[in-house]
Amino acid sequence: MSDKLHVLSHPLVNARLSKLRQTSTTSKEFREGIRDVSFMLGIEASRELEEETFHGQTPIAPFVGTNIKPKIGFAPILRAGLGMTEALLDLFPSAPVYHLGIFREKVSLQPVEYYSKLPPTPPIDMCFLLDPLIATGGTACAAMNMILDWGVPVNRIKLLCVLGSQDGLKRVQAEFPGLEIWAAAVDPTLTDRGLISPGLGDTGDRLFNTLRDS
């Protein structure tokens, strides 16, 4: 793993991930856990953002403050990426959100693009790509190519995920060596069906309570 991959190591993150892994966790609890972990990822991923100093005047006294200089936008991958979006908007309330619709075909495991809300040219300086689960890495790579084709360079993109497999993250790093990745945790095993083990299950279904009985 390269120095561009940052894995959070924090007791609060680990506690929430433990709850997320439990099959008894309700959809409400799962949404709250994803949101909490995403909030922590957002704080860590924005630690080195540039700041711009400004001088202001209040009725009481003059003051000096700071603003975040780059204009940041979010690109959540539908539908599971929606579970991360609210937490990031709490940190950056004015950030635009560009939804990307990509699903993984069940037999070939290849990503299929079906929706893009990217405008003709990027009005942002930095893009946070939101994908809670990186299994094979195919969906994340497809989304990365969409953003690069849009015109945002790789060094102005940050990929945030709650959980990734070792193989999936290695694939993303191999295709985009300059990409900065923030993950809450990494699991070692990827099954022959392209699923992370032990993993979190189907994140989208658990977020939106659409699990089907087996």
**Domain presence at residue 98:** yes
The pTM assigned to this predicted structure is: 0.89
| pLDDT 10s digits, 147-184 | 999 999 999 999 999 999 999 999 999 999 999 999 99
Tell me, yes or no, whether 194 lies in a domain.
yes
Could you tell me if 28 and 19 are in contact, meaning their C-beta atoms sit under 8 angstroms apart?
no
Is residue 59 included in any domain, yes or no? no
pLDDT of 166 reads 95
What integer pLDDT is reported at residue 188 of this predicted model?
A: 92
Q: Does a structural domain hold residue 197?
A: yes
Number of structural domains found in the chain: 1
Establish if 179 belongs to a structural domain: yes
| pLDDT tens track for 39-49 | 999 999 999 88
CA dist list (Å): 88 to 13, 40, 61, 72, 119 = 16, 9, 32, 10, 20
Structure tokens, 72 = 């940041």
Q: Is residue 60 part of a domain?
A: no
Residue 58 lies inside a defined structural domain of this protein = no
In a domain, 57, yes or no: no
Q: What CATH number is associated with residue 176?
A: 3.40.50.2020
Among the residues of the chain, which ranges form H helices?
Answer: 11-21, 27-45, 82-91, 138-150, 166-175, 203-208
Q: Which domain holds residue 99?
A: 4-48+71-208
